[in-house]
Amino acid sequence: MSADSILKLDQACSAAEEFQKLFYESFDKRRTVLDKLYMETATMVWNGNLVEGSKEIVKFLETLPVSEHTIDLLDCHPILELAKEAMEAYRFAS
């Protein structure tokens, strides 16, 4: 494995760890700030319930019972450049 690949893997793991900590701490203790983690046009399906828009997602999440998450394992992978280009092209085409 090249040094560049190892660096990208380390960056992906670090970002994933930071994100999961931020997301689940917010989910468990401050759900009102979760809208900052979703795009305004986000769509979520929860047990068959369609929720559209970051504000509506947070409203829905606030109706759920109080929770406490414990993350035991996290799996992450760097996104390949080709995939990034495809996502960017899709975003601009939409």
Q: Pick the closest to residue 69 from 28, 20, 26 (CA basis).
A: 28
At 91 the pLDDT is 63
Secondary structure class of 60 (helix, strand, coil):
helix
Domain that holds residue 7: 3-93
Q: How many domains in the chain? A: 1
Q: What is the mean pLDDT of the chain?
A: 87
CA–CA separation, 57 and 75 (whole Å): 25
- H or E element in which residue 49 lies: strand 49-52
Q: Which residue has the higher pLDDT, 12 or 50?
A: 50
Say which CATH number the domain at 12 has. Answer: 3.10.450.50
pLDDT digits (tens, 9 = 90+) for 40-78: 999 999 999 999 999 999 999 999 999 999 999 988 877
